[in-house]
Amino acid sequence: MRGSLVRATAGLAAAVSLALGAGEALPAPAKWKHGIVIPKADTAFIFMAREKGFYAEEGVDPEFIPISGMHLVKALIAGTVDMIDQTPGVVFPAIESGARLKIVGATLVSLPHVLYVRKEIGSVRELTGRVMGVSTMGSLPHVLVATLLEKYGIDEKQVRWANAGEEPDRVRAVIAGKVDAAASSVEFTPFLKDTQAKVLLNFSDEVPQYVRQTHITTDRAIAERADVLTRVLTAHVRGVRYALARRDEALELMGKIAKKPAGEFGWLYDFFVKNRLVQPNLYVSPEALQWMQQLNVKIKKQAAVLPSERVGTWEYQKKVLARLGEAPW
């Protein structure tokens, strides 16, 4: 697969160069504001398109804006950003309440999250009465733990919830004993050496249907900036495929983002590739989104399941693949 992606990426870059023509005047690049969670090593799959100049080749000038937790959806509704990467479970209630938002694709589809706990905790049922660390209520770490509790017949009111910050902060809070458990990326397991904390479980095993992140924009952007949106997603997919095809360059970018030696992230990159946590074709299935809605209804975050066409469109995924072709995965 990696060899196929290398050849496809190189061929497309050459085609873009020829299409531009020598000395041809180019229009000003389209501005695009992209709201993302606080960057960490796996954000390399998102940032690679900017790093390699793919957005510029598509005539887009992107600005990635880190935003915490639930504020991503609020920023999109307010028009502060043009698109966000967020778990769909958080977006559906906003759509149900009248927000005109649409899922247009997905890249980081599967969960790299694990449950960090104090060492004395040996099972999910032992979480009853404990303190759960989250970024904000309604955010991904909260919904993941609430989903886990529901699976094991525990009402989320039987635990206490505490704001413990972003992903690395939550792991540090468990290590320090400030909270008893928290969901966070597997990326931070090296923090656990010589501590009184451990990993209890992998969320991809417990809730394999859960969709980690989708790309969400507004109905207004779709109506008024459809061409720009297509170019944004095309550049993005090119970057994702480049990262999957070139391990060494992806590791360098991981290290750059995390401000650590690139060699520390080989295991993490391989974990993402082996477990297919990255989607190179922008695809998220309607069935997966329906399951996420059903989960929301079950945990009382949403009143009813909405029609697929109200929450998402697959038009742009088709447009991108019509140009780039489908990557083997």
Q: Give residue 19's pLDDT band: very low, low, confident or very high (50, 70, 90).
A: very low
Q: Tell me: the pLDDT tens digits for 146-176?
A: 999 999 999 999 999 999 999 999 999 999 9
Q: Give residue 20's pLDDT band: very low, low, confident or very high (50, 70, 90).
A: very low
Q: Tell me: the pLDDT tens digits for 89-104?
A: 999 999 999 999 999 9
**Is 2-19+26-110+211-324 assigned to CATH 3.10.560.10?**
no
Sign of the Cα pseudo-torsion (175, 176, 182, 186, in order): negative
Domain-by-domain residue ranges, the chain? 2-19+26-110+211-324, 113-206
CATH of 113-206, one of 3.40.50.970, 3.40.190.10, 3.30.950.10, 3.40.50.300: 3.40.190.10
Q: According to DSSP H, which parts of the chain are helical? A: 2-20, 44-51, 54-57, 71-78, 88-96, 140-151, 167-175, 203-206, 219-224, 226-245, 247-258, 266-274, 286-298, 308-311, 315-324
Q: Average pLDDT, stretch 195-206?
A: 96
Question: Residue 39: CA atoms inside 13 Å, Cβ hemisphere, count?
Answer: 18
